[in-house]
Amino acid sequence: MAVDQRRPPVIHQLSAAIANQIAAGEVVERPAAVVKELAENSLDAGATRIEVASEDGGRRLIEISDDGHGMGRDDLRLAVSRHATSKLTRAEDLERIATLGFRGEALPSIAAVSEFAIASRPHGESTGWELRLNGGEEVAFAPCALSPGTRVTVRNLFWNVPARLKFLKSEAAETGHLTDQVVRLALSHPGTAFRLRCDGRIAVDLPASEDLTQRIRALFPGDLASSLIAVDGSSDTSQISGFIAHPRTATATARRQYLFLNGRFVRDRLLVAAVKEGFKGFLEPRLHGAVFLHIDLDPAQVDVNVHPTKSEVRFRREGEVFALVSRAIQKGLASQPGGFSLLSAQVVGREVVKPAAPMVVVQERYLPLTIATEPAPNRGPTAPVPTGPEPVRGGASTWHAEPRETIRAAEDRPSPSRYTTPSVANGDGGSSRPGVLVQHAPALGEPPVQPLPAAQVNRPTDQLNRPPAQLNRPTTTPIRRVLQLNRMYLLIETDTGIRLVDQHALHEKALLNSLAPSASDLIAGGRQELLMPIQVALSAAEVAGVAPVLPALAEFGIDAVAAGPTTIQVRAHPARLRRLDWAGFFADVAADGAAAVDGLRERLAHHAACRAAVKAGQELSPDEQRELAQLLFTLDGMEHCPHGRPTVLDLPWDELARRFQR
Ligand SMILES: Nc1ncnc2c1ncn2[C@@H]1O[C@H](COP(=O)(O)OP(=O)(O)OP(=O)(O)O)[C@@H](O)[C@H]1O
Ligand SMILES: [Mg+2]
């Protein structure tokens, strides 16, 4: 706008409609925020049951019904007008807010940017009344049939704010956010029944729970639910109670950290830091333990009126809150029977809490010298996957993994092979020479690998186990010696010079080369029906993103279903994918949503290869070093890793001589 410097612009009062639209920009960021505001109103109204329905990720419809105290006819118009609230009357009340709402902003803000209807009937009255607005303008007000309680319907959200509409994500992503929101609300009020229906599909269905544990178990089945540790504590002005999950269920993101302050979900830096401090010594710093903690604080000790969405708060006594949270967690962890602290004794508060048994670090992933194919730290909570030796078919090595039993520190490891190249394995039928996996009998209780039709067993080219290009390569290599450098590189001396190899990149490429998994290739290795399905913990947004792709996984022998708003359950998978990082794979798929259907084959191969490859920083025994180095000479196209980076740098003897001017 051109500014005329000679004349000041005219100041005028904004209309209520525009003021509400501006307020909506802060309060209603996306459909999930509408769900939050409306459900919080229902909780403030004492609802014992809240039903949420959405269509098109909440864009086309959000409807929330409750059985709370409702509103009389005369209050409906007031409820949708700005700064009208029943929760606050005097300025001093701001010091002691005990309800979720208090600003009197949510309804008018939502009504300003949607086609909005609110219907309500107080208990004891025979009829309800419904008020309809469009873009904040009243269009109808009439009696309606309704059970006691309140129903708010929001259609075509942001129809009159196209700029906001553009910022919304895909339907799956918005549905995910919305589901996350319901999960938080459900954890904040376990005694209230919640049901969420997305486009007719029931995504969350939770009866009223007796306590928080029951609700957590309903939402997070599997390992997390079975590893809950009760936590409590108190200080002068506050108390804390709730649960943390065993550190083994920790993930690389903090998405399983649910902290509630006076019944309100908060995402606060101080609390996040306090949780981290609580897990210190029990968890690698980059991992986040799952927590479900309710903090009850004297309302005078906290200011929730910092941000319109109220997710940020300010504590009057920060140090006290920090100590309350971190000590409660430490105490919970340290007092576990058989304690799993990294320390032999934890100083918790002023008392020294000794674990009941000597120090035990139970997580294999913390062992510095674990075998390459062990699950990475952040795979998320999963049900116990069969851990015994898994049968290897037909004497052929799989491209990954020796059985878990062989995990031990390098010193006492009898140099088992990890890099068995398919050609070697196929070449001699899996004999006992170094570099070939031994065939194991199935462990007791291990889900059997389904037998294959003979035609598949004898397939001439089992590409998973035998990359086509490698068959004619000589198995004797000109390697004179191999030396591992900095736990990252291999220095290989050959007849013609020296070669410096990136150990992870080389192994990953070799694995990927041996994987050209058409669907039938994958299934050709047999399929494992899991007695205990793998529970893959994801965010609700990720589950919503993955859900449309799940049916397409059946073609690859993967039977996976959405088992809850934040859980995907893998019930069967090709034996060859038994070490797949499912959480990583699904998170990757979720990022692309339905579009991921097209590249599933490649994605599976990449995830399988990357996970199974030896890591940088991993110490290798001399045999392992040699075996890995051999891959460079026995497989084709090993010079670049799957990400296009070089795997090897060459320095021939004559080049070396030239450089030294010999
Ligand atoms: N589901 C409901 N049941 C009963 N009363 C309701 C319900 N929803 C809203 N109300 C009434 O309408 C009023 C206005 O709601 P609104 O959400 O706009 O403001 P608030 O909840 O008071 O504050 P905030 O803007 O912080 O949410 C509430 O104070 C409450 O009295
Ligand atoms: Mg409100």
Q: Is 106 in the pocket of ligand 1 (CB under 6 A)?
A: yes
Question: Which ligand has an atom closest to residue 97 CA?
Answer: 1
Question: Which ligand has an atom closest to residue 28 CA?
Answer: 1
Question: What is the Å distance from ligand 2's center to 211 Cα?
Answer: 25
Please compute the mean of the pLDDT values over residues 429-445 and round it to a whole number: 26
Please compute the mean of the pLDDT values over residues 643-652 and round it to a whole number: 82
Q: In whole angstroms, how large is the CA radius of gyration of the chain?
A: 30
Q: How many CB atoms lie within 10 A of CB 415?
A: 16
- Band (1; pLDDT cuts 50, 70, 90): low
- What pLDDT, on a 0 to 100 scale, did the predictor assign at position 642? 64
- More confident site: 245 or 379: 245
Question: What is the Å distance from ligand 1's center to 151 Cα?
Answer: 12
Query: Is residue 188 a contact partner of residue 265, using CB atoms and an 8 Å limit?
Result: yes
The end-to-end CA distance of the chain, in Å, is 75
- Helices 212-219, 171-188: crossing angle, 10 deg rounding: 160
Query: Is residue 426 a contact partner of residue 399, using CB atoms and an 8 Å limit?
Result: no
Question: What is the Å distance from ligand 1's center to 103 Cα?
Answer: 9
Residue 84 has pLDDT above 90, yes or no: no
Please compute the mean of the pLDDT values over residues 618-641 and round it to a whole number: 81
Q: Which atom of ligand 1 is nearest to the CA of 66?
A: 1
Question: What is the Å distance from ligand 2's center to 79 Cα?
Answer: 9
- Give the range with max mean pLDDT: 175-179, 237-241, 443-447: 237-241
Single out the residue of 390, 372, 366, 465 nearest to residue 422, CA to CA: 465
Distance CA 383, CA 371 (A): 21
Please compute the mean of the pLDDT values over residues 566-574 and round it to a whole number: 90
Please compute the mean of the pLDDT values over residues 403-429 and round it to a whole number: 31
* Burial per residue of 555-588, b for 16 or more beta-carbon CB atoms within 10 angstroms, e otherwise: ebbbbbebbbbbbbbbbbbbbbbbbbbbbbbbbb
Distance CA 54, CA 31 (A): 9
- What pLDDT, on a 0 to 100 scale, did the predictor assign at position 438? 22
- More confident site: 314 or 597: 314
Strand, coil or helix: 632: helix
Phi-psi region of 281 (alpha: psi -120 to 50; beta: other; left: phi over 0): left
Superfamily of domain 392-662: MutL, C-terminal domain, dimerisation subdomain (3.30.1540.20)
- What pLDDT, on a 0 to 100 scale, did the predictor assign at position 517? 55
| Beta-carbon-side half-sphere exposure of residue 562 (alpha carbons within 13 Å) | 24
Distance CA 547, CA 550 (A): 5
Q: Is 107 in the pocket of ligand 1 (CB under 6 A)?
A: yes
Q: Which atom of ligand 1 is nearest to the CA of 150?
A: 1
pLDDT digits (tens, 9 = 90+) for 324-368: 999 999 999 887 764 444 433 333 332 333 333 322 222 222 222
- What pLDDT, on a 0 to 100 scale, did the predictor assign at position 413? 31
- What pLDDT, on a 0 to 100 scale, did the predictor assign at position 36? 97
- What pLDDT, on a 0 to 100 scale, did the predictor assign at position 408? 27
From 27, 77, 107, mutation site for ligand 1 pocket: most ligand atoms within 8 A of C-beta: 107
- What pLDDT, on a 0 to 100 scale, did the predictor assign at position 477? 59
Residue 624 has pLDDT above 90, yes or no: no
C-alpha distances in Å from residue 171, one per residue of 18, 154, 263, 430: 28, 16, 29, 50
Lowest-pLDDT choice from 172-181, 344-353, 501-510: 344-353
The residues, ordered by sequence, that sit 6+ positions from 446 with a Cβ below 8 Å of its Cβ are 386, 388, 390, 391
- What pLDDT, on a 0 to 100 scale, did the predictor assign at position 179? 92
Fold of 220-353: Ribosomal Protein S5; domain 2 (3.30.230)
Residue 209 has pLDDT above 50, yes or no: yes
Question: Which ligand has an atom closest to residue 118 CA?
Answer: 1
Lowest-pLDDT choice from 220-224, 492-496, 573-577: 220-224
- Band (643; pLDDT cuts 50, 70, 90): low
- Band (26; pLDDT cuts 50, 70, 90): confident
Residue 559 has pLDDT above 80, yes or no: yes
Q: Is 155 in the pocket of ligand 1 (CB under 6 A)?
A: no
Residue 210 has pLDDT above 50, yes or no: yes
Single out the residue of 464, 512, 500 nearest to residue 641, CA to CA: 512
Q: E strands of 461-566, at which residues? A: 479-485, 489-494, 497-502, 527-537, 559-564
Residue 244 has pLDDT above 90, yes or no: yes
Lowest-pLDDT choice from 226-240, 252-266, 485-499, 514-528: 514-528
The residues, ordered by sequence, that sit 6+ positions from 31 with a Cβ below 8 Å of its Cβ are 54, 57, 58, 59, 62, 157, 168, 174, 177, 178
The residues, ordered by sequence, that sit 6+ positions from 466 with a Cβ below 8 Å of its Cβ are 422, 423, 426, 514
Question: What is the Å distance from ligand 2's center to 214 Cα?
Answer: 27
Query: Is residue 176 a contact partner of residue 586, using CB atoms and an 8 Å limit?
Result: no
Q: How many CB atoms lie within 10 A of CB 3?
A: 8
- Band (516; pLDDT cuts 50, 70, 90): low
Question: Token pair of 429, please?
Answer: 């039928």
- What pLDDT, on a 0 to 100 scale, did the predictor assign at position 79? 96
Please compute the mean of the pLDDT values over residues 311-333 and round it to a whole number: 92
Single out the residue of 535, 499, 536, 431 nearest to residue 638, CA to CA: 499
Question: What is the Å distance from ligand 2's center to 287 Cα?
Answer: 35
Residue 380 has pLDDT above 70, yes or no: no
Question: Token pair of 234, please?
Answer: 């108190």
- What pLDDT, on a 0 to 100 scale, did the predictor assign at position 644? 66
pLDDT digits (tens, 9 = 90+) for 184-204: 999 999 999 999 999 998 889
Residue 397 has pLDDT above 50, yes or no: no
Q: Which atom of ligand 1 is nearest to the CA of 99?
A: 21
- Band (238; pLDDT cuts 50, 70, 90): very high
Distance CA 501, CA 22 (A): 59
The amino acid at residue 395 is: G
Question: What is the Å distance from ligand 1's center to 107 Cα?
Answer: 7
Residue 456 has pLDDT above 50, yes or no: no
Residue 458 has pLDDT above 50, yes or no: no
- What pLDDT, on a 0 to 100 scale, did the predictor assign at position 515? 57
Single out the residue of 460, 480, 233, 426 nearest to residue 333, CA to CA: 233
- What pLDDT, on a 0 to 100 scale, did the predictor assign at position 510? 79
The residues, ordered by sequence, that sit 6+ positions from 328 with a Cβ below 8 Å of its Cβ are 231, 232, 233, 240, 278, 293
Q: Is 79 in the pocket of ligand 1 (CB under 6 A)?
A: yes
Looking at domain 16-206, which CATH architecture does it have?
Answer: 2-Layer Sandwich (3.30)
How much of the chain, in percent, has pLDDT values that exceed 90? Answer: 37
- Band (16; pLDDT cuts 50, 70, 90): confident
Distance CA 476, CA 200 (A): 63
Domain positions in the chain are 16-206, 220-353, 392-662
Q: Is 71 in the pocket of ligand 1 (CB under 6 A)?
A: yes
- More confident site: 443 or 91: 91
Lowest-pLDDT choice from 201-205, 287-291, 444-448: 444-448
- Band (607; pLDDT cuts 50, 70, 90): confident
Domains 220-353 and 392-662 equal at CATH topology level: no
How much of the chain, in percent, has pLDDT values that exceed 70? Answer: 75
Please compute the mean of the pLDDT values over residues 565-584 and round it to a whole number: 85
